Amino acid sequence: MVAGLAFCSSAAKASDDPEIAQAIADCERKVSVACGTVGLAYSDPANDQYDIFLSLRFLQEACRGNHAASCGRLALVYLEGSEDIEVDRATAGRFAIKGCSLFDKTACEVAETVFAEASSDQFDAEKALRYRRVNCDQGGWRSCEDLARIYYNLGEFEPAEQVAAKACDPAHSEQRSVCEFAASLRLRREEIERALAERRDAQRRRLAERERASQVVHSFLGQGKYDSAIYAAIYHSRQLSDARIAFEATLQAGALGSVYKDHLYVLDYWFPSGRLNAAVNAEIERRSRGDDCGIYNCTNMPGASSRRWAAGAGRTAASRSSSSASSFQPARMKSAAEISRETRNRYRTAHCTMNNNANRYLCN
């Protein structure tokens, strides 16, 4: 990531160089640039007068005066260390932050190295990400590759692809890994786009089918065929909204009596509460009463036949029973209301287990 001191260019050849001598004099007068010139020269291993320890004085003075290159060199010196200077990543980080804020490339690279090392006490994921972005923007392809992989791990696939593509230069073989990564991200995006397009097409087809089914419901309502409209809503449209429209229209037309009773059971479960549920159950109850209690005073209730026979013979069922030697007791017959409830429950079980029932959730 960071170039070593051995690769830094020499700012001066020797201490007897008149430019260096003048720079030392100017540095004594607090000229930051002059201090930087001397510090960079003495910290350059290619310089005959190389003295890394002596260079620190000039580099620190220059960095205090906001000389960007001096801050970057100090950061590099403390990052790598030498025979005279111990590695100090904390100090390297401080100089790197300042140097990078002054737009020194070396300082930004050192900052990324210091804060991205997970095993270091200086590890800071937020700062590492920040300086990776800076170095990537400055053309550091390795920083771009690392940044792209971080975005990928965070699930931010679009910026990951963009950063990886930016870092890829097929002309350089050392960038093969980032180019392959960029290609894999592009293929992933294309596959997702195709899948999304297919999903949108399928959704459009479903919506079109629902619209056609809804048109059938409205067509029946326009013809005054309310039971047919409810049937179409239940078994073709399978949409609660269509069933509501059909049922509301049926109520407004006063045509609830024309609705097939099994359809009422479905509506009872599709509308489990509220005004529509009350209307459905009122109609079911009305029809049940009509079955149970006719002109013979609830002829289908248990014991009704015995009471009619006894009344016709001029005596009560109780006296007949007591005068008879037989111990026969007629089996209790279910009322129409009980039969209706059982039918309703059987219908509910069948309806709620339909594989293609779009309203199964209403049965829970």
* Rounded Cα distance, 209 and 272, in Å: 27
Nearest-CA neighbor of 59 among 46, 43, 83?
Answer: 43
Whole-number pLDDT of residue 84: 81
Question: Alpha-carbon distance 62 to 69, whole Å?
Answer: 9
State the Cα–Cα distance between residues 200 and 320, nearest whole angstrom: 77
pLDDT for position 352: 58
Domain end among 111, 138, 165:
138
Cα 144 to Cα 50: distance, rounded to the nearest angstrom: 35
Angle between helix axes 105-116 and 68-80 (nearest 10 degrees) is 40
Q: How far apart are CA 343 and CA 346, in angstroms?
A: 5
Q: Give residues with Cβ within 8 angstroms of 359, minimum separation 6.
A: 238, 240, 270
Is position 125 within any domain?
Answer: yes
Report the pLDDT value the prediction gives residue 339, as an integer from 0 to 100.
72
CATH number, domain containing residue 78: 1.25.40.10
Closest CA to 72 of 21, 12, 131: 131
Q: Residue 169 falls within a domain, yes or no?
A: yes
> Between the CA of residue 329 and those of 48, 66, 213, 257, 262, what are the distances in Å?
128, 113, 55, 39, 35
Regarding whether 68 and 182 lie in a shared domain, the answer is no
Same domain, 12 and 121: yes
Give the domain-ending residue among 205, 234, 252.
205
Same domain, 197 and 87: no
Task: Indicate whether 195 belongs to any domain.
Answer: yes
* Residue 56 and residue 171 in one domain: no
Query: Do 155 and 116 lie in a common domain?
Result: no
Tell me whether residue 241 is in a domain.
no
Tell me the DSSP string of 229-274.
Answer: HHHHIIIII--HHHHHHHHHHHHHTT-GGGS-HHHHHHHHHHS-SH
Token digits for 361? 């959730």
Q: Which domain holds residue 47?
A: 5-138
Residue by residue, pLDDT tens for the chain (364 residues) are 554 444 343 333 345 678 888 999 999 998 999 999 999 999 998 888 889 989 999 999 999 999 999 999 999 999 999 888 899 999 999 999 999 999 999 999 999 999 999 888 999 999 999 999 999 999 999 999 999 999 999 999 999 999 999 999 999 889 999 999 999 999 999 999 999 999 999 999 988 988 998 999 999 999 999 999 999 999 988 899 999 999 999 999 999 999 999 999 999 999 999 999 999 999 999 988 755 454 444 544 555 445 544 555 555 444 444 444 445 455 666 676 677 677 767 666 655 554 455 455 555 5
* 302 lies in some domain: no
Distance CA 135, CA 99 (A): 13
Q: How many CB atoms lie within 10 A of CB 278?
A: 11
pLDDT of residue 289: 73
Does 108 share its domain with 156?
no
Structure confidence at residue 48 (pLDDT): 82
- The model's pTM is 0.52
Do both 70 and 177 map to the same domain?
no
Asked if residue 101 and residue 116 are part of one domain, the reply reads yes
Same domain for 117 and 74: yes
Residue 65 belongs to some domain of the structure: yes
Name the maximum alpha-carbon separation found in the chain.
Answer: 148
173 is a domain residue: yes
* Token pair 């490339």 in the structure block, residue: 105
- Domain total in the chain: 2
149 with 198, same domain: the answer is: yes
Contacts of 167 (CB under 8 A, 6+ apart): 136, 141, 142, 144, 145, 148, 175, 178, 182
113 shares its domain with 126: yes
User: Which of 80, 103, 138 is where one domain is finished?
Assistant: 138
DSSP per-residue string spanning 160-212: HHHHHHHH--TT-GGGHHHHHHHHHHHHHHHHHHHHHHHHHHHHHHHHHHHHH
Residue 59 covered by a domain: yes
Shared domain for 180 and 198, answered yes or no, is yes
